Amino acid sequence: MPRIVIDVERCKGCGLCTQVCPKGDLVQMSDEFNSKGYRPSKFVDPEKKCIGCAFCANMCPDVAITVYR
Amino acid sequence: MSEAKEEKIVFQRPKALCDVVTHYCPGCLHGVVHRVIAEVIDDLGIQEITVGIAPVGCSVLAYNYIATDFAEAAHGRALAMATGMKRVHPELVVFTYQGDGDLAAIGTNELIHAATRGENITTIFINNAIYGMTGGQMAPTTLPGQVTTSTPTGRDTKLAGFPIRVCELVSTLEGSAYIVRRSAYNPSEIRKLKAAIKTAFQVQMAGLGYSLVEVVSNCPTNWGMTPLESLKWLQENMLAYYPLGDYKVKDSVKELMAKK
């Protein structure tokens, strides 16, 4: 099952990954803070819609996303 | 329930990119370009023979992030340093990574002469229309009317002249072989950017002449925008003045690309 793993401590909360998902809103901003005080993004995929296209990971300037397929 | 197929990693940090946190602001495309360069270095298998030259500017610490040999040049002198390295060690792959303040202001002289001599080196040029590290002053590439800390009412072309279009300028020089402008505001542009950087490195390795890839980039902090707003502003304003495309692809480069 395709999925992504976000390294929340590496994430700076820029949100670039949240705008490119072809399935809509599988990557969203979290309400919680990481240890640096950024709001990281989070992966929300209850219906298993992720296709592992890696668009979100491609946009990440901090290479905080790993994609599995 | 049957066991699912074994999972494979389809996207992860490239080997040639150090596993460290960068100092770049949230949303800065420097990180994306660093990663793309590292991916190309991995793809071509040239990590051991590549030398980068870091500029002065936000990317001054690029040597901490890209896992190849690196040198740090004085402001604007990256291409002079690269020329020396490549001539002494022609077997190396030498690239400079420079911003608009470094390449298009204090380093213009080095740029023009390195290009016209046809040095076999590659430049990755990050154009974000502002001096980022020093606090957002006007750069040679700042757009007319753009507000910066040194042009608080917008760039007045009567006073400050017009922005420099580096690709158009360098493409007129005989020694340049592959001069293209790309961006990184969406996954499709990032894919094109990667292909361009790969071609630029291959042009150098084939000894065809000077190659330059300009990346129209952003600066959310000094533009005073969120990262997402900055990408929108980039597409609406920067691309009108700096159109993406191939500005010079010599016939020898086309032949090389047809072979690959």
Separation between Cα atoms, residue B134 and residue B61, nearest integer Å: 15
B13-53 pLDDT, tens digit per residue, is: 999 999 999 999 999 999 999 999 999 999 999 999 999 99
Closest CA to B170 of B225, B81, B249: B249
Residues in A whose CB is inside 8 Å of some CB of B read 1, 10, 12-16, 19-20, 38, 52, 54-55, 57-63, 65-69
B167-182 pLDDT, tens digit per residue, is: 999 999 999 999 999 9
Separation between Cα atoms, residue A25 and residue A19, nearest integer Å: 8
Segments making up each domain of chain B, as ranges: 30-259
Contact state of A61 with B12 under an 8 Å Cβ cutoff: no
**Which residues, 6 or more positions from A41, have their beta carbon under 8 angstroms from its beta carbon?**
A6, A11, A13, A15, A17, A18, A27, A28, A29, A30
3-state secondary structure of B56: coil
The complex's ipTM works out to: 0.96
Distance from CA of B5 to the nearest CA of A (A): 8
Domain B30-259 annotated CATH 3.40.50.970: yes
3-state secondary structure of B177: strand
Is pLDDT of B253 > 60?
yes
Domains within chain A, CATH numbers bracketed: 1-69 (3.30.70.20)
Mean pLDDT, range B142-147, rounded to an integer? 97
Is pLDDT of B220 > 60?
yes
Distance from CA of B55 to the nearest CA of A (A): 19
In this predicted structure, what is the pLDDT of residue B3? Answer: 54
Give the pTM.
Answer: 0.96
Regions in chain A scoring below 70 on pLDDT: none
The dihedral formed by the CA atoms of B219, B197, B11 and B221, expressed in degrees to the nearest 10: 0
In this predicted structure, what is the pLDDT of residue B4? Answer: 60
